[in-house]
Structure 1
Amino acid sequence: MWSPCASCNTTIPLIAQGTLVTTFKEYPYKSFEELDTLLLQAEGTVYCVDPASNGQTPPLEVEVLKDQLANRHIIEQIQHGTFESHLQPIIFLDSTETFGYEALLRSGANISPYDLFRTANRFGLHSKLDQRARAEAIKATFEAVAPHQKTFINFLPSTIYNPDYCLQHTFDIIDRYDLSPDRFIFEVVETEKVHDVDHLQHVFSTYKKRGMKVALDDVGAGFSTIDMLKRLEPDYVKIDRSYISFCDEDAEKRAFLRQVRALTHSMGITLLAEGVERMEEADVCRELGFDLAQGYFFGKPAPANQYKIEIA
């Protein structure tokens, strides 16, 4: 049975009509705009009460509540809004056939992924958003990805405190859609700086025990040494686009890519070039022996329904 941790259950209640309670007085308000105005004159710790339900927000410093209100549209989207996954093709470099897709979270309210994850991290909602992103990616796989193709799903190691519990929600959704675990490749997202390698090893181990593969993203930029590959032993490695961009014109980049190809080949790791935007870059990666590639040259992220498969 799945037992979510406290972080997964974090919620920020926002009361649109209620009473602002301060140290000395209570102020009724009928909208967030009125509440904003009241907060301009308030000091210290405050909270809001919903007279209809008697529910209330946690006591907060005025500036913290003002900050929440200023970001309320994004907070509400993370907690209750709709999401979908857009899929970006990943191709075999030798044949240009589709290997699979990377699932990328998109908001139904057209809020940028950057703003979503920045706000989630700022207000302690990153575990909830990361969990929702995984759920949407699994749903998109069921609806739009052929059984012989793979789906790369991003995850934030910092949101997974106890892998045996925090990831059970993800495993339950895979079971609910009756999908084979080996259709999924879970990758550390490029913006996440990994400081606790032992913890990441535990996360990787938990995924692998369930029959899934794991990928290390951002190699060459976010991860400082190639030695990290030997320690984490990922199934896939994605090379940061900064090393792919115009690699045909940069001998140092090609030397680095050649070094990574030699190491990953010796370890049996599948190598993927990301951010390929030009034919010349694809040609270099193919010549160096890269297995897979993704980028605008091969296809931009698109709604999953554009790839929808027919279910027999």
Structure 2
Amino acid sequence: MQKACVGCGGDVALPFEFKMAFQPIVDLRTDAVWGYEALVRGANGESAFSVLNQVTDDVRYQFDQAARVMAIETAGGLFEGRDLRLSINFMPNAVYEPSACIQKSLAAAKRAGFPHRNLMFEFTENERMADPAHVQRIVEAYRKFGFWTALDDFGAGYAGLGLLARLQPDLIKIDMELLRDIHQSRAKQAIVAGIVGIARTLDIHVLAEGVECAEEFAVLRAAGISLFQGYYFAKPALMALPPILNCGKIAAVRSAI
């Protein structure tokens, strides 16, 4: 019997509007798009901060649910049946009972024709988690559903390696500040090499996010990272899939390895 969610009450209308932007994740191993991250934006393309700043405790659950559904349904139309992953950010503190709170997402995935294995839910360590044990239960529940889970902004925030050891997600996204100008910093290169080694031992995929230039890309590729996201490849597009930049350069670098 499906456990009820005490916080999932009736639907409450949000006092603001929002849309989704999509940014590609490219895979060096296949020279192709691996998936897209859905990013919250204002109704006219305003920043995510402008939207999240309006999310109060009273509508936190409703916003989290609405954002998931919009991301899945919009991507379902944009992907046109292609075998691509969709990465969705979620608020752990807006999930009361994981199996109950995921039902709207499951229904949206069914309507959009998304296999569960193509959905990835990201949680960030950049915002203090009130109850890490609860987040662990969410990850375990999502794993049973067949979803991917990802730890965003790894290398910044409150928990770091301790949170990684506890949750062991399918994928970690190295924080962009740790990657910025990495070609000019031996310290950053050493830290990233350590992260890649730990992830490899734990069978966790690594994604470099926020990559902006060829020099950063070259160092990260040499470190053994194959999944990339950032302006070097494409900026997010509002309610659309943006054109991919530098695909030829990816292929050229790969062939030269």
Instruction: Confirm or deny a common fold (TM above 0.5).
Output: yes
Distance 1:306 1:263, change over 3 A: closer
Cα distance in 2 between the residues matched to 1:111 and 1:275? 19
Choose from 210, 218, 222 the match for 2:145.
Answer: 210
Distance 1:284 1:307, change over 3 A: closer
Structure 1 residue 111, shift from structure 2 partner? 4.5
1:28-177 pair list within 5 angstroms: 76-77=15-16, 81=17, 83-121=18-56, 124-145=58-79, 146-177=81-112
Structure 1 residue 139, shift from structure 2 partner? 0.8
Q: Does 2:223 align with 1:284?
A: no
State the TM-score, normalized to the length of structure 1: 0.71
Distance 1:252 1:182, change over 3 A: same
Structure 1 residue 189, shift from structure 2 partner? 3.5
Q: Deviations over 1:187-238 (max 9, x none)?
A: 1046432242211111111111111110011111024332322221100000
1:185-196 pair list within 5 angstroms: 185-189=120-124, 191-196=126-131
Structure 1 residue 134, shift from structure 2 partner? 0.5
- In the alignment, which residue of structure 2 is the partner of 1:255? 190
Choose from 223, 241, 244 the match for 2:176.
Answer: 241
Cα distance in 2 between the residues matched to 1:299 and 1:5? 41
Q: Secondary structure, in 3 states, of the residue corresponding to 1:120?
A: coil
Q: Secondary structure, in 3 states, of the residue corresponding to 2:83?
A: coil
Q: Secondary structure, in 3 states, of the residue corresponding to 1:76?
A: coil
- In the alignment, which residue of structure 1 is the partner of 2:209? 274
Q: Is the 8 A contact 2:22 2:239 kept in 1?
A: yes
Percent of residue pairs bearing the same amino acid type:
31
Cα distance in 2 between the residues matched to 1:100 and 1:110? 21
Q: Is the 8 A contact 1:90 1:98 kept in 2?
A: yes
Q: Secondary structure, in 3 states, of the residue corresponding to 2:55?
A: helix
Report the RMSD for the aligned CA atoms in angstroms: 2.3
Matched residue count: 241
Unaligned runs of 5+ in 2: 244-257
Q: Deviations over 1:130-164 (max 9, x none)?
A: 11110111012211125321111100101001112
Q: Is the 8 A contact 2:127 2:158 kept in 1?
A: no
Cα distance in 2 between the residues matched to 1:224 and 1:251? 24
Letter in 2 for 1:129: F
Q: Where do 4+ consecutive residues of structure 1 move more than 6 Å?
A: none
Q: Is the 8 A contact 2:234 2:242 kept in 1?
A: no
Cα distance in 2 between the residues matched to 1:258 and 1:286? 11
Distance 1:129 1:2, change over 3 A: farther
Letter in 2 for 1:144: L
Q: Is the 8 A contact 1:9 1:128 kept in 2?
A: no
Letter in 2 for 1:241: M
Distance 1:118 1:259, change over 3 A: same
Cα distance in 1 between the residues matched to 2:204 and 2:85? 16
Cα distance in 2 between the residues matched to 1:205 and 1:86? 28
Structure 1 residue 277, shift from structure 2 partner? 0.5
Distance 1:169 1:282, change over 3 A: same
